[in-house]
Amino acid sequence: MGWVSNDNEHEGWAAPVAPDGRLSAASTIEGMLVEGITGRYLPDKMMPDREAVPDREIIGWRGACTCGWRGELWERVSSPADADFSRRREYLAPTEYAHASSEVEDAIHDEWKTHLAPLEAVAGVKAAAREYEQAGRRLDKTVAAAKAAGASWADIGRAVGISRQSAHERWADRS
């Protein structure tokens, strides 16, 4: 497993893809472990609800995240001549462990970060909204205290940057 977001809500990785589309998050010497038992592969000894897809059968890689996000497929091609990074095609010998190459992994990492960007921006909005609400409550309290201390609506309006009338309309009912 790979990358964790700042808020710990997302964990992403470059997942090897089985021929039936299942994604792997762990491997053993038997192959890439995928969840579910189809009977086509050997069940794992440690985790009996997973089976090991042999490395040579892995069809490619895609980004995955614990939130459910999935990236586009990076296809594994069977000949070096068919490899083309710009078309998401990567050669890997059938005898190799079927982890994504470091180039593909870096590209998937970037895709994963792109998937996080709007979510992190929205988290910023959420934090600002919370501060905005807290500041509003503090404003109400300080206005009530100023009024109790004898300040006029004109004084309060001037402090806030609004008219006497607006200050009165906004806070007269609350004090």
Name the site residues for Zn ion (rule: CB under 5 A): 10, 65, 67, 69
The sign of the CA dihedral 129, 12, 82, 52 is: negative
Nearer CB in complex with Zn ion: 4/172: 4
Residue 151 to residue 153: CA distance in whole angstroms: 7
- Phi first, then psi, for residue 94 (nearest 5°) are -65, -20
- Nearest distance in Å: CB 126, Zn ion: 16
CB 100 → Zn ion: shortest distance, Å?
A: 18
Nearer to Zn ion among residue 67 and residue 154 (C-beta)? 67
* Alpha carbon distance 106, 14 (integer Å): 9
Minimal distance in Å, beta carbon 118 to Zn ion? Answer: 11
- As measured in angstroms, the least distance from the Cβ of 123 to Zn ion is 12
SS3 of 126, please?
A: helix
Residues in CB range of 45: below 8 A, 6 or more apart: none
| Contact yes or no for 69/27 (Cβ under 8 A) | no
User: Whole-number minimum distance, CB 142 to Zn ion, in Å?
Assistant: 41
| Strands of the sheet with 11-17, listed across from one edge | 3-4, 11-17, 60-65, 74-77, 89-91
